[in-house]
């Protein structure tokens, strides 16, 4: 990782009252991130969350939220997450079996692979895509960075439903919502009798919007 992305340890220790983005890493993997104006609060949050296995805690200059579980080499200068295509090439991002990414970052599945699958393999493929859609939508609405902030209590400026104990309950509600959404659609997929029906179901499947989800779980 280039030195211009990560701030020096000297800067880390400077007194500064402005809110910064902090990350803890282990073997260059991000294991924790939060926003805070206090180094002391950051270490307290790590202790409260039971995170003790890390190499270092640093601040970063970022125009994007870092993602817990990602590695430092997955980010460009300015700590912006690289494209899915680049992350696949690095071996950091795994795709569903048989899928590829083109240079425009679009998920594709070669048509001949679809033809080669039997009915059960097609159902398995559809369930993998359904799972990916549910997880990615869940975390696009409430990303890992915000979740870490909620768990650590660093929620200044967040709405009530994302703060304190209510914020923790919101995370549980969101996770349960998408588990149920997956289960409901998985049942439908298992009842489909042809590959064409399964393919059509996946191609026409859409996830609810953020406002629709918040309304459905009575948060707005």
**pLDDT of the residue at 106:** 58
> Which residue reads 């779980």 in tokens?
217
In whole angstroms, what is the distance from residue 95 CA to residue 107 CA? 9
140-168 average pLDDT score: 86
What is the overall mean pLDDT for the chain?
80
**pLDDT of the residue at 152:** 84
Q: Give the number of other Cβ atoms within 10 Å of residue 90's Cβ.
A: 11
| pLDDT value at 19 more than 50 | yes
- Under the banding of pLDDT at 50, 70 and 90, the label for residue 90 is confident
Residue 69 per-residue DSSP state: T
- Under the banding of pLDDT at 50, 70 and 90, the label for residue 101 is low
Each residue's pLDDT tens digit, 63-82: 667 888 889 999 888 888 88
| Residue 34 contacts residue 47 (beta carbons within 8 Å) | no
| pLDDT value at 162 more than 50 | yes
User: Which of 18-32, 33-47, 101-115 has the weakest average pLDDT?
Assistant: 101-115
**pLDDT of the residue at 219:** 61
Closest among 159, 134, 150 to 219, alpha carbons compared: 159
- Under the banding of pLDDT at 50, 70 and 90, the label for residue 89 is confident
Q: Which long-range contacts (CB under 8 A, 24 or more apart) does 175-180 make?
A: 175/138, 177/138, 177/213, 177/216, 177/217, 178/134, 178/135, 178/137, 178/138, 179/134
Q: Is 196 helix (H, G, I), strand (E, B) or coil?
A: helix
**pLDDT of the residue at 98:** 59
- Under the banding of pLDDT at 50, 70 and 90, the label for residue 6 is very low
Q: What share of the chain is helix, strand, coil (3-state, %, to 5)?
A: 50, 15, 35
Q: What is the CA radius of gyration of the chain?
A: 20
- Under the banding of pLDDT at 50, 70 and 90, the label for residue 46 is confident
- Under the banding of pLDDT at 50, 70 and 90, the label for residue 97 is low
Closest among 129, 135, 138, 134 to 189, alpha carbons compared: 129
In whole angstroms, what is the distance from residue 175 CA to residue 170 CA? 9
- For the entire predicted model, the pTM comes to 0.57
């Amino acid at each position: 990782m280039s030195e211009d992305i990560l701030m020096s340890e000297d800067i880390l220790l400077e007194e500064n009252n402005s809110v910064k983005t902090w990350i803890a890493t282990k073997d260059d993997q991000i294991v924790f991130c939060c926003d805070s104006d206090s180094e002391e609060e950051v270490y307290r949050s790590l202790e409260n969350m039971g995170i003790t296995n890390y190499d270092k805690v640093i601040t970063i200059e970022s125009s994007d939220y870092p993602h817990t579980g990602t590695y430092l080499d997955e980010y460009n200068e300015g700590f912006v997450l690289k494209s899915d295509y680049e992350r696949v090439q690095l071996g950091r991002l795994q795709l569903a079996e048989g899928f590829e990414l083109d240079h425009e970052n679009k998920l594709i599945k070669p048509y001949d692979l679809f033809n080669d699958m039997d009915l059960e393999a097609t159902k398995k493929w559809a369930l993998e895509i359904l799972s990916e859609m549910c997880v990615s939508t869940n975390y696009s609405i409430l990303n890992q960075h915000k979740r870490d902030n909620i768990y650590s209590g660093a929620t200044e400026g967040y709405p009530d439903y994302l703060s304190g104990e209510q914020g923790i309950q919101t995370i549980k509600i969101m996770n349960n919502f998408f588990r149920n959404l997956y289960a409901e659609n998985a049942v439908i997929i298992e009842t489909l009798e042809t590959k064409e029906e399964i393919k059509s179901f996946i191609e026409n499947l859409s996830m609810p919007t953020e406002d629709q989800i918040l309304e459905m779980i009575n948060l707005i």
